[in-house]
Structure 1
């Protein structure tokens, strides 16, 4: 192993010398290991996989098997749901982001920093890792990694605080916050920003710079924000065009309308419609592209499910080609992807549903319900031993491998033989 250092003598170091990178490269089994040091954070280690060596996940199943067997489990506290990007199942914990084989959990690449992760997600078909800055006060170091190799693609310094989430619209990624949200494109250039700008280049470009944000939802061409503003007793629903216009510092607001009633939460967005859930009584309100209420649906869940903002400001949802599956906190609701109409509700569940073969699987205490996606009818329940974990379960799939995010841990289940 060779180590290259700057030839500067310690007693003659300048500030410029301190931030000079120290690079060490070693070839390992066709892959690579890269170490460097920057002024913003301490050592980074990148272990990449050689091109074409990452195994593909097993083929998707046509039907639900008789049962599942735990294949592997790994800590992943920086993800809120299973993160599957390309061939990799990605775990993110502490300062490490790791691309794993879906079936075995074997690590094929890793990207590790001594800085702590704020969150990890996907965008543009790649892995996005957002780290805290050097004094851990902000989440301002974003790195994009190739899912098949772990190679670093790009990096930038967004304005975000702990608690942020990365929301993928398909072509853009929104980086959320308590009072500020920004959107970036694939080269990580900012396309728009909305909210309280810390140090605006040109003040006065934000229409409401003093509001607090409760929840978010994204879809192609739309970013929905439920905000609470000084002097307003009602929620305000604002929809912004995430691709912005000619100037990213001036948001292109599609509409912004007060929403009378108890505080709610944005659940989903689709086309020009937004679904907002409200308590007392529990209901789902659908708003059109001008901010007008077009329909209201009773939702048979406790008011307590809807009385607070969702964790991280993002409703716990999954989706397939037909439905968005929303977990309210005690029940799973299937919402039509087109008009956001609720299709069915299952009570006493532990998380949203996930499509698996010709059915959907819904986590419940002690197992998985096998459910008809069109009707919500439960066919059977597959036992799953989750040990002492009794909290929310967010499922995902990688081929025929079923994934469960159980709090700070990711668990992989394979069909039982």
Structure 2
């Protein structure tokens, strides 16, 4: 029979050393990870979605307002309004503005968006706007996270399937679980070198649809902007798959201010600024990058121009007017003058902000069929992004979001 093994002094010292190393490593991870600098207050119960239908209120007023500097449009998911400012994303009761949940970190918030019933919140560290967290929009609980090199400033654009994250030098596409499907542009540490088709380009604008990504970029050797059309989810996300790429030869292609307005599965719509001899235009391209139509615009887009994608179509706010586009072909359908921002749908009706309130427009013609008076406080002609939660409106303007609605229903 073998004698039992005995622990020696060396064994004990080794075990103590291993335990110390593990403790130190754990401490370093905790001290340097995002968990340490995160303060979250989740909702105790999910906020129910508002009842569908119901008439558009005849009278409304401002109910509350909160800072909203990190969003690009009014954000609402079901029964929760979302504001993003400083280092905090907050879910709010859309009628009262009261906090339902909160997610806060000790680093600056770059941008926030909503899609898939979730909130996408991107924070900035020493690798740019690289830390992204996916939150349940109803209760604020953490669903997923990702981290990768990004530019110091980015925009987020959801298309219903993917989220496009765009900076001046780099673009990424993310799935609903935050897994990256595409990286395009600058790569800080390429696993496989020479996978990007070009280098040194500045990414000017981009939009996506579930089957296409359109990027407008200016590259060092090009004399005008380049339109590149990509697969949003190639077989290898580090090796972009181009459907087409060409330098624009249309008037305005070499003028600052061009941008991608919208992308469908069959068309790409660009805005091209005017030149001394030509007016500004909406130009349409097929998925191979071929020009198929040019529509002249009466005036250039202003700095406050915005695009809204609704279930009934795509709407371009030029800074003064609203242009409705066919959701498939992106051809202009109608225009409405003297509006203040992008529309929203309530009870099957198209509502748009106007000077003295909210106007109801005919979705087929853009003709005004109704008007809701609204007196806005602290308004200085900023563009307005409108959203709807039940019978409540959310107006984002001037870095603030305003809850707007009629009197609370009787209990």
TM range (shorter): 0.7 to 0.9
**1:91 alignment partner in structure 2:** 83
Query: Which ranges in structure 1 are unaligned for 5 or more consecutive residues?
Result: 1-11, 22-36
Shift of 1:40: 5.2
Shift of 1:82: 1.2
**2:139 alignment partner in structure 1:** 149
Select 2:387's aligned residue among 377, 383, 396. 396
Indicate how the Cα distance of structure 1 residues 193 and 215 shifts in structure 2: closer, same or farther if over 3 A, else same: same
Are the equivalent residues in 2 in contact too, given 1:363–1:393 (CA < 8 A)?
Answer: yes
Shift of 1:81: 0.7
Select 2:245's aligned residue among 242, 256, 278. 256
**1:338 alignment partner in structure 2:** 328
Are the equivalent residues in 1 in contact too, given 2:74–2:395 (CA < 8 A)?
Answer: yes
The reply to whether residue 292 of structure 1 matches residue 290 of structure 2 is yes
Select 1:111's aligned residue among 92, 103, 112. 103
Quick one: distance in 2 between partners of 1:276 and 1:189? 29
Query: Which ranges in structure 2 are unaligned for 5 or more consecutive residues?
Result: 1-20
Are the equivalent residues in 2 in contact too, given 1:42–1:115 (CA < 8 A)?
Answer: no
Quick one: distance in 1 between partners of 2:78 and 2:152? 27
Indicate how the Cα distance of structure 1 residues 387 and 69 shifts in structure 2: closer, same or farther if over 3 A, else same: closer
Report the TM-score, using the length of structure 2 for normalisation.
0.86
**1:277 alignment partner in structure 2:** 271
Are the equivalent residues in 1 in contact too, given 2:66–2:400 (CA < 8 A)?
Answer: yes
Select 1:201's aligned residue among 180, 191, 210. 191
Helix, strand or coil: the match of 1:132?
Answer: strand
**1:19 alignment partner in structure 2:** 28
Report the TM-score, using the length of structure 1 for normalisation.
0.85
Shift of 1:116: 1.2
The reply to whether residue 212 of structure 1 matches residue 221 of structure 2 is no
Shift of 1:14: 8.4
Quick one: distance in 1 between partners of 2:290 and 2:241? 19
Structure showing greater Rg: 2
**2:369 alignment partner in structure 1:** 379
Helix, strand or coil: the match of 1:163?
Answer: coil
RMSD: 2.4
**1:266 alignment partner in structure 2:** 260
Q: Give CA deviations for 1:55-84 in whole Å, capped at 9, x if unaligned.
A: 324324444322212222111111111112
**1:366 alignment partner in structure 2:** 356
Indicate how the Cα distance of structure 1 residues 163 and 366 shifts in structure 2: closer, same or farther if over 3 A, else same: farther
Quick one: distance in 1 between partners of 2:132 and 2:233? 19
Helix, strand or coil: the match of 1:155?
Answer: strand
Indicate how the Cα distance of structure 1 residues 13 and 321 shifts in structure 2: closer, same or farther if over 3 A, else same: closer
Quick one: distance in 1 between partners of 2:359 and 2:115? 30
**2:119 alignment partner in structure 1:** 127
Quick one: distance in 2 between partners of 1:388 and 1:102? 20
Q: How does 1:53-72 map to 2 (within 5 A)?
A: 53-72=45-64
Indicate how the Cα distance of structure 1 residues 336 and 382 shifts in structure 2: closer, same or farther if over 3 A, else same: same
**1:46 alignment partner in structure 2:** 40
**1:176 alignment partner in structure 2:** 166
Shift of 1:402: 0.8
**1:7 alignment partner in structure 2:** none
Shift of 1:43: 2.3
Are the equivalent residues in 2 in contact too, given 1:41–1:115 (CA < 8 A)?
Answer: no
Are the equivalent residues in 1 in contact too, given 2:162–2:173 (CA < 8 A)?
Answer: yes
Helix, strand or coil: the match of 1:271?
Answer: coil
Are the equivalent residues in 1 in contact too, given 2:49–2:78 (CA < 8 A)?
Answer: no
Are the equivalent residues in 1 in contact too, given 2:78–2:389 (CA < 8 A)?
Answer: no
